[in-house]
Chain A
Amino acid sequence: MSAPAGRWLLALLPLVLLGALLLLIVRSDLTEAIQGDAPPVEELSFERVRLGDAGIELTVLNDGPDPVTIAQVMVDEAYWSFEQTPAGPLSHLESALLTVPYPWVDGELHEIVLISASGVTFDHEIEVAVATPRPSARFFGIFALIGLYVGVLPVAIGLLWYPLMRTLGRSGYDFVLALTVGLLLFLLIDTAHEGLEAAAAVAHSYQGVSLFALVALLAYLIIEGVGAWLRGRRPSGDREAGTAAWVTALLVALGIGLHNFGEGLAIGAAFALGEAALGALLILGFTLHNTTEGLAIVAPLAKTRTGITRLFGLGLLAGAPTIVGAWIGGFVYSPFWSVVFLAIGAGAIAQVVVQITRSVAGERELGTFLRSRPVLGGLVAGFGVMYLTGMLVG
């Protein structure tokens, strides 16, 4: 037997035995003996609720191990007619659409209870009933406008600090980059917080917190790899330093873009859930909050000459995802994808924080670098500015 074949065998043998063991467990009466006459474990999660002229549409997912049969639907403590597609019991992770022709009332609270064949109930509260926006030119326009105000314009305004950056000396440069790291650390914590909050709403089977950690780790590693690849592409002479700075700026813009995408999702979802009433104040807060993101993008470019077109491109990369996020959040919001996108944002920002710290510290020992006054001041200032402007958003 050749060595590779032997290796395959060694790898596969335990797997074959595992398969045999699983078969034995399924075939034996063990599972039945354990379960006995115990009632089935029924779990349902509400994935999406839409309100329209036809009534209430619910997308539900079987989040438990046993099949669930939805026998009746109650809305506001009244049995109501409904249609289920596909009909029949839902198996593990299977989802169905329930259409309930209920005359819901604008601006009021409604409570939906699904009752299973065994009498188990699953509740969902619609806190404020508002018609769910359907994809239409008008709503695309509204979301684009919100994204523009919240994402694109503030970032672009922040970019205008670029000329100032170029006049800075060593301490000033350290301060501004530390400020950027402070801003990003705030965004990292914020994104992680949002992501973990969304994780709590995800069906248990998807293990929201682990999903968040997995995707964030993957995002970190991929962006690390992409950054290294970009930097290695043009190693020629005097442009080397400029390229490294450019790649850092690009990654900062990408990280912020992913974060803003998550922000857009949240805004769109809030709008879809009928909470757009926060409107003006929310947009005002975000606008102020996000202007500092522009600063973070141009800081790494302080020692380079960068054209207006490139700056514009970076601004768009960081800001435009807010619009796309708002569209997606508004029309097809799902907790699962929120977790995924927020995790990507968190991984990307974490990578950028590490990247900037590495590149600014340069030859200096990290501990000494962090203890220097401009750096300490910058970190605190960056985090503090985000915290204070964040208070406006509430």
Chain B
Amino acid sequence: MKKPLSRRSILQAAGITSLAGVGGLAGRSLASRVGAPERMAHSHAMGVVGSVDTEIFHPGHFLESWNFSDLDGAERDAYYRETPQADGTTLREYELYAVDREIEIAPGVYFPAWTYNGQVPGPTLRATEGDTIRIHFVNQGTHPHTIHFHGWHSPGMDGSLPEHQVMPGAEFLYEFKAEPFGLHLYHCHAIPLKRHIHKGLYGTFIVDPKEPRPPAHEMVMVMNAFDTNFDGDNEVYAVNTVAHYHMAEPIRVEVDQVVRIYLVNLTEFDPINSFHLHAMFFDVYRTGTRLTTEEVTDTLMLCQGERAILETRFRYPGKFMFHAHQSEFAELGWMGLFEAIA
């Protein structure tokens, strides 16, 4: 008997149908057009349902804070201290710890992350070229971890070789000069590398030039993704972890003000990610290591670990979409809105 439920049978059916010829096909496509209008009414139902709890990690606060500027007073001192040096540079001391924590990456979807300081991405670190960076790292997690910085440093501070691994319960002091100026990153380099990165151990490291860039409305965007079922393929994409967060909570900017985006790609499993801004163009400073650029575009592609500083000005008030120009990533969470206010 009968019932052709298998894929093979459907292909057979398609073969039979095609014998009916072009006339039949034309009739079919017309039929689908007739059926369309009512369904099209729902086409803006794309996006996640609900909202995340922002008590522990607030994407809006993360976006515009560095060196724990989202904490105040004594609480901030516990994680970050600045000490001016005789040569005019600054000693910046950080307390970073690795800890396992379940994080909410889309409304109601929880991911068993490995984090720096309980958040993904980890805290953004920011210094001026020539400053001394001293990081007291404690591994409170269940696996060996490290902090591997991009930037100039001695091999012993690289956090990458087997002997660099900081065992659970152990600690390590990373110290190096902040150089060169630019937009860098840090991530765990314990093996297996893929898992340690996609589980959430990464963050942004900004080194400002001695002569600072012009004032601007600055923000940090880490393009990341999560493989919730551990099949080597991401289920959730975002900037700064939470899927479609800025669709519901647009990033507010002012018309005519310079907006500077520190954009870092830390997406695991997919070879590249991208950034596209609607109705506008932006200047691209790749890796942020130069103060001038020739590159002006509205779509920028970055491979994993690659980063760029983007600068633009909003000409018009209103809402402007930004997202990965891989449509799949956009519809799986990597999409948001700017709202420019006159």
Contacts and interface: CB of A to CB of B under 8 A. Distances in A.
A263 B2 CA distance: 7
Contact of B39 (A103, A191, A194): A103
B13 A278 contact: yes
A283 to B, nearest CB: 10
Main secondary structure of the interface of B (DSSP, over half): mixed
A278 B16 contact: yes
Contacts of B107: 71-72
Contacts of A128: 10
Contacts of A394: 4, 9, 12
Contacts of A194: 1-3
A81 interface: yes
Contacts of A393: 1-2
A121 B228 CA distance: 8
Contact of B4 (A77, A119, A262, A278): A278
A277 interface: yes
B5 A115 contact: no
A103 B5 CA distance: 24
Nearest to A259: B1
Contacts of A119: 109-112, 226, 228-229, 235
B2 A270 contact: yes
A15 B187 CA distance: 60
A300 B235 CA distance: 63
B312 to A, nearest CB: 28
Contacts of A388: none
A118 B235 CA distance: 12
B3 to A, nearest CB: 3
A53 B2 contact: no
B40 interface: yes
Contact of B3 (A115, A116, A117, A267): A267
A208 B89 CA distance: 73
A230 to B, nearest CB: 28
B333 interface: yes
Contacts, number: 134
A53 B228 contact: no
Nearest to B8: A394
Contact of A266 (B1, B32, B332): B1
B39 A270 contact: no
Contacts of A121: 228-229, 235
A281 B43 CA distance: 38
Contact of A79 (B16, B17, B38, B243): B243
A270 B1 CA distance: 12
A325 to B, nearest CB: 11
A190 B1 contact: yes
Contact of A78 (B38, B46, B108, B110): B46
A154 to B, nearest CB: 14
B10 A71 contact: no
A101 interface: yes
B326 to A, nearest CB: 10
Contact of A104 (B7, B39, B46): B39
Contacts of B229: 119-121
B339 to A, nearest CB: 21
Interface string A57-80: 000000000000101111001111
B47 interface: yes
B45 interface: yes
Q: Report, as a range, how many residues of chain A touch the other chain.
A: 35 or more
B228 A117 contact: no
Contacts of B226: 119
Contact of B10 (A106, A113, A118, A127): A127
Contacts of B1: 190-191, 194, 262-263, 266, 390, 393
Given A79-B46, A281-B16, A270 B110 contact: no
Interface string B27-68: 010011001101110110111110000000000000000000
Contacts of A115: 106, 109, 228, 235
Given A120-B228, A281-B16, A270 B4 contact: yes
A103 B48 CA distance: 16
Contacts of B126: none
A105 B2 contact: no
Interface string A102-141: 1111110000010111111100000110010000000000
Nearest to B13: A277
Given A55-B39, A121-B228, A72 B48 contact: yes
Nearest to A73: B49
A273 interface: yes
B109 A77 contact: no
Nearest to B226: A119
A37 to B, nearest CB: 10
Contacts of B110: 117-119
Nearest to A273: B5
B46 A80 contact: yes
B49 to A, nearest CB: 5
B328 interface: yes
Contact of A77 (B38, B40, B331): B331
A277 B42 contact: no
Interface string A277-302: 11001100010000000000000000
Contacts of A263: 1-2
B14 interface: yes
Given A71-B107, A116-B109, 12 more contacts: A55-B39, A72-B49, A78-B46, A79-B48, A80-B46, A104-B39, A117-B108, A120-B229, A128-B10, A191-B1, A194-B1, A275-B5
30 contacts: A71-B109, A72-B48, A72-B107, A78-B46, A78-B332, A79-B106, A81-B46, A103-B39, A103-B43, A115-B235, A117-B109, A117-B110, A118-B228, A119-B111, A119-B112, A119-B226, A119-B228, A119-B229, A121-B235, A127-B7, A127-B10, A262-B1, A266-B1, A267-B3, A270-B2, A275-B10, A278-B4, A278-B16, A281-B16, A394-B9
